[in-house]
Amino acid sequence: MSRVARGPSWFDSLLFLALMSGPPKFRPRDPLASLEGAIDLVVLIHIVVWTCGGLWVLARLYPTVLRRGIVPAVNPVQALGALFIAALTLSAWESPGRLLTAFTLGQFAVMLSFIWLFTHRFGTSACLRHLFIGVSLLAVAIVAALVLSPELVAGITAIDTGVVIGQTRVAGNYLTDVGSVAVIGLVFCLSSAPPLRAPIFWGAVSLFSGLLVASRTRSAYIALLSFLAIGFTHGRGLRVRQLIVPLVAFALGIFVMDAMTSTTEFLVRDPASVGTMSDRIPLWQYLTSIVMREAPLTGLGYYAASRIYAPQYNPGLGNAHSAFFEVLVGGGILGAAVYLVLCGSLIWFAVRLLSLAGGRPSAVASAGLLFVALVSGVTQPEAIHAGPLGFAFWSTTALLPGLLREANRARTTAEQRLHARKASLRLRSA
C-alpha cells in the first residue's frame, strides 16, 4: 500500500475524530449494565462508530492484501501491540462481561490498525494535526458544556449549586477526561506541532492551562512535568524551552504567596491521601493477591478488576485506577509482560528519536504524548482505552517508528550530500 498524494477525505477526518473522542458517554450508566449486555442509544452509537472504524481498515486492506497479495509494512511495536491484544483474548472466556470484553478488545484492535493505516497513507504530520484538532474541539466542547450542561463535566452537584470558580472540579465525567485533553493540548502547543501564530497560540495555551487547573487531576500535573522535562532537554528552538523559565517562576510565585496553603489544597485536593494515592496502593496489593491466587498466567478476564474486584475492595474507587493492574488482573502475568515489553519498546523508539531529531516539533510532540500516556496510565486505565488519552497511546505505535524512519532517512541524505560535497571539493583541488 503506497502513501496517497492527497490528504485525507472529509470522511477519513471525521472518522478519525469520532474514534479519538471515545465517543463520549453523555449519561450515567450502571457499571453492571455493560456486563449484562444492556444496550441503549449511546451504546448503539459506539457500536456504529467502532464498526465504521473496522470497516474502514478492511476497505483499505482489501485492494492490497487480497487483490495484490501485498501486506503493508508492520513495525515491531505494532506487532507487539497485536500480540498484546491477542494475550488479553486468552482469558476472554473467563471475563465477567464477555460481550463488553470482546467489544473493548475490538476497540484496541481498531485503534491499532486504524492509526497504522492512516499514518501509512497520509503521513505522520497528518496524524499529529488531526490529534491536535481533536483535543482542541473537545476542549471547546468542555467549555460549552460548563455553560450549557454542567452535569456533563462538573459533577452532579453542579446541577444544584452551579459551577463555582475555585471550588468545582471539572473532571469530565460523561463527556471526556478533562485532565488528559488539557495535557495533550499543551504538549502540542508547547512543542510547536502544528505551528501556531501568536494570538492563536496564547489563546490555546490559556484554554488548555485553564482546563488543566480546573480538572484538579494530580496525574495530569505529573504527566505535564514529564513532558516539560523532555521539552527542556530536547526542545531546541521550541516554545516549550522558551517558556520553561517563566512557567517555573510563575509556579514558584504562586506557592510563595500567602495563598500557598489554599493553592496546594485546591490543586492536590486531599494532601493527606497522597501517601496511599487515595487508597490505590492497598487496592493494587489486593488485586495482585487475587490474580496470583486465582489465575496467575492468563488472568481473570478483562474488566474483572474494574467491575468485580475493585468495587468489592472499595466501591468509592470505582475501578482498578491503573492501566497496568487492569491488564495484570485481566491478562495475568502473560498479558502484563507483553504490555511492559510494548511500553519498553515505545520508550526505546522515543529515546532514539529524540537523540536523532531533538528540536523537531513532531519528535518532541510524539515522545511527549507517549510519556503523558505512560505516566497517566499509572493511575488511569483510560491510558489504553478508547478516548483521547488511549488513542494518543496507540497513535505512538505508528508515530514513533515512522518519525524515526524519517529521521534516519534525513540523516542518511545529509551524510550523502556531505560526502558528495567533500568529493567535489577534492576534485576541484586536484
Cα pseudo-dihedral 383, 385, 391, 397, rounded to 10: 80
Longest Cα–Cα distance of the chain, Å, equals: 87
Residues 6+ apart with CB under 8 A from 172: 142, 153, 178, 179, 181, 215
Residue 411: predicted pLDDT: 83
Contact of 116 with 53, CB cutoff 8 Å: no
Q: CA angle, 181 as apex, 256 and 157 as ends, to 5°?
A: 75
Q: How far apart are alpha carbons 248 and 205 in whole angstroms?
A: 15
Residue 14: predicted pLDDT: 97
Residue 136: predicted pLDDT: 97
Residue 311: predicted pLDDT: 85
Q: How far apart are alpha carbons 300 and 289 in whole angstroms?
A: 12
Residue 258: predicted pLDDT: 47
Q: How far apart are alpha carbons 250 and 237 in whole angstroms?
A: 21
The residue type found at 349 is F
Rg of the chain, C-alpha, whole Å: 23
Q: How far apart are alpha carbons 233 and 231 in whole angstroms?
A: 6
Contact of 81 with 110, CB cutoff 8 Å: no
Residue 185: predicted pLDDT: 97
The residue type found at 404 is L
- For residue 47, the Cα-to-chain-centroid distance in whole angstroms is 21
C-alpha cell at 407: 529521521
Domain edges within the chain? 10-429
Q: How far apart are alpha carbons 91 and 298 in whole angstroms?
A: 6
- Taking the chain (430 residues) in runs of 10, the rounded mean pLDDT of each run is 69 97 85 79 94 95 72 86 96 87 95 95 94 97 90 62 59 87 96 91 94 88 92 89 76 57 56 60 91 93 88 78 93 96 97 91 96 94 94 97 91 78 74
Contact of 136 with 18, CB cutoff 8 Å: no
Contact of 118 with 60, CB cutoff 8 Å: no
71-103 burial, b for 16+ CB within 10 Å, e for fewer? Answer: eeebbebbebbbebbebbbbbbebbbbbebbeb
Q: At what angle do helices 76-89 and 388-429 cross, to 10 degrees?
A: 160
Q: How far apart are alpha carbons 407 and 356 in whole angstroms?
A: 7
For the entire predicted model, the pTM comes to: 0.90
User: How far, in Å, are 94, 150, 242, 264 from residue 218 at the CA level?
Assistant: 34, 22, 25, 11
Q: How far apart are alpha carbons 55 and 356 in whole angstroms?
A: 37
Contact of 325 with 383, CB cutoff 8 Å: no
